[in-house]
């Protein structure tokens, strides 16, 4: 069974989940364009939440009641990966940047900071693992990736 959740901040998005994972998402504006004005607000199958939260080792999805009439949707690291990959696949250059995280998490929150950290460390790890895949802004490939640590080179 698929469950749908509409997040309203920072940009209205509808997420689809099975019991095991996040299946994907759709911008609420696109959904309303396809199904009629305010369809995402009026559809009883879509649960409404205020914002997206990140708990790396948490459940696939969990509703967090912050205050009366204020519920957030919490996702785990796998859900974040699905969002990033799904979003990048829709872009012409098939990339994801730190600025893109602002589409999914509100600014100046721990969840946004954690998502930024997660993406930054993944990029660094992949750059070290696959330096031949890196491109500099001018299109040239670097000869090596600099390490974050002061590693001693053999003499």
Q: For 21-72, how does the pLDDT look when each residue is reduced to its tens digit (9 = 90+)?
A: 999 999 999 999 999 999 999 999 999 999 999 998 889 999 998 888 889 9
Q: For 96-133, how does the pLDDT look when each residue is reduced to its tens digit (9 = 90+)?
A: 888 888 899 888 888 889 999 988 888 888 888 888 87
Question: What pTM value is reported for the model?
Answer: 0.77
Q: Which residues have CB under 8 Å from 5's CB, separation 6+? A: 14, 15, 17, 46, 47, 48, 49, 61, 73
Output the CA–CA distances (angstroms, integers) from residue 3 to 18, 23, 101, in the order listed: 6, 10, 23
Quote the pLDDT of residue 49: 95
Instruction: Report the distance separating Cα 95 and Cα 84, nearest Å.
Output: 9
Quote the pLDDT of residue 119: 87
């Amino acid at each position: 069974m698929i469950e749908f959740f509409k997040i309203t901040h920072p940009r209205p998005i509808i997420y689809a989940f099975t019991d095991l994972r996040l299946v994907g998402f759709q911008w609420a504006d696109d959904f309303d364009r396809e199904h009629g004005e305010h369809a995402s607000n009026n559809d009883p199958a879509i649960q409404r939440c205020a914002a997206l939260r990140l708990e790396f080792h948490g459940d696939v999805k969990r509703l967090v009641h912050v205050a009366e009439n204020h519920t957030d949707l919490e996702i785990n690291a796998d859900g974040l990966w699905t969002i990033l990959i799904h979003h990048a696949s829709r872009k012409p250059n098939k990339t994801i940047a730190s600025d893109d995280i602002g589409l999914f998490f509100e600014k100046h929150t721990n969840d946004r900071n954690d998502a930024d950290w997660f993406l930054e460390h993944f990029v660094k790890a992949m750059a070290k693992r696959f330096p031949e895949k890196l491109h500099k802004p001018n299109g040239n490939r670097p000869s090596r990736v600099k390490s974050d640590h002061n590693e001693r080179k053999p003499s």
